[in-house]
Amino acid sequence: MDLYTFLYDLATGPLLWISFLTFIIGSLFRAGLYIMASRKMDKVTHEHFSLKYVFLGLVRWILPINRSVKKNPVFTILGYIFHICLIVVPIWYVGHISLWEDSRFGWTWTAIPDEWADYMTLTFLAIAVFFLLRRIFSKDIRLISTFSDYLLLVVTALPFLTGYFLSHGTLENVSFFGENMELIHMLCGELMLILIPFTKLSHFILFFFSRGATAVEFGRRGYSV
Ligand code: HEM
Ligand code: HEM
């Protein structure tokens, strides 16, 4: 068996399972650890737990009706668009849905039009480049950025870049990339999924707990959540 066949079988078989299971189980585990730690450390928050404050706090932060919108409108709006593309494209892109349909699960759902997937991918990539340049060139942000902040931004953007190349045959004439883009894309997607529970990318789930806890704390003290 040559190296390509070995890697291709790995990426379409065991590694696909490992990446999805690591993402799902790892994220639930991180959430569990967070709840256990906060039960010990934030006893007051748990004693005053209120679903109403949690709900109000999350709604204000998920919809753009919080203070950071006014403080930093451009960055906040770009952040929203970035996350909408990040969640919508991989789930509702027709090329991905047909993979689920052909899989042992046979799942299918309505896709977004191909042009939308293209525009959203390019928009996402443009914002990712902007975020990267902002981290590199803005002195204040560079000071609080760690190596992993840069790396994770790149890890998040790579499946979009390689997915776009793959579906458009962009580098088809460049020998190495032309022959291997499908494999490269799958490995990039799998790397991102595997890294989520172990890195700051776990904020996709921890965000809800930490924002919820802050809302309870603010609400109990009579501040605006
Ligand atoms: C519903 C789920 C999610 C929520 C509520 C959320 C929330 C946030 C917030 C509040 C920020 C900081 C400010 C901003 O950029 O607007 C952020 C940044 C970021 N998020 Fe998310 N996120 C979610 C899902 C994800 C996922 C699934 C990924 C990737 C796997 C991701 C990748 C990133 C990255 C790379 C940044 C840093 C951007 C930079 O360098 O400034 N997010 N997210
Ligand atoms: C985990 C395993 C993954 C597999 C097996 C996979 C597979 C594929 C395949 C086969 C295509 C091309 C379909 C076609 O040409 O019709 C594609 C395109 C694409 N994928 Fe993935 N993918 C994976 C993960 C991801 C992830 C995690 C993201 C983003 C977060 C992503 C984003 C994209 C994008 C943006 C496109 C191109 C959309 C466009 O046409 O502009 N993929 N993927």
The rounded mean pLDDT for the chain is: 94
Kindly give the distance from the C-alpha atom of residue 101 to the centroid of ligand 2, in angstroms, as a whole number: 14
Question: What is the pTM (predicted TM-score) of this model?
Answer: 0.92
What's the mean pLDDT in 44-70?
Answer: 84
Nearest by Cα to 189 from 148, 150, 157:
157
Pocket test for ligand 2, best of 185, 195, 201 (most atoms within 8 A of CB): 185
pLDDT in tens, 10-53: 999 999 999 999 999 999 999 999 999 988 888 888 888 888 98
118 touches ligand 2 (CB under 6 Å): yes
Nearest by Cα to 185 from 168, 197, 202:
168
The CATH architecture one would assign to domain 3-220 is Up-down Bundle (1.20)
Q: Regarding predicted confidence, which is higher, 164 or 220?
A: 164
Nearest 5°: phi and psi at 10? -65, -50
Kindly give the distance from the C-alpha atom of residue 76 to the centroid of ligand 1, in angstroms, as a whole number: 11
Angle between helices 73-92 and 114-137 (to 10 degrees): 140
The token pair that represents 188 in the structure block: 């990039």
pLDDT in tens, 144-185: 999 999 999 999 999 999 999 999 999 999 989 999 999 999
Closest Cα to atom 35 of ligand 1: 153
DSSP assignments along 86-142, one per residue: HHHHHHH-HHHHHHHHHSTT----PPPPHHHHHHHHHHHHHHHHHHHHHHHH-HHHH
CB 190 within 8 A of CB 15: yes
Separation between Cα atoms, residue 192 and residue 91, nearest integer Å:
15
Separation between Cα atoms, residue 172 and residue 179, nearest integer Å:
7
Kindly give the distance from the C-alpha atom of residue 95 to the centroid of ligand 1, in angstroms, as a whole number: 24
**High-pLDDT (> 70) share of the chain, %:** 100
To which residue do tokens 């932060």 refer? 61
Nearest by Cα to 190 from 30, 23, 24:
23
Confidence band, pLDDT 50/70/90 cuts, at residue 201: very high
Pocket around ligand 1: residues whose beta carbon is below 6 Å from it? 79, 83, 86, 131, 135, 149, 152-153, 156, 192, 196, 201, 203-204, 207
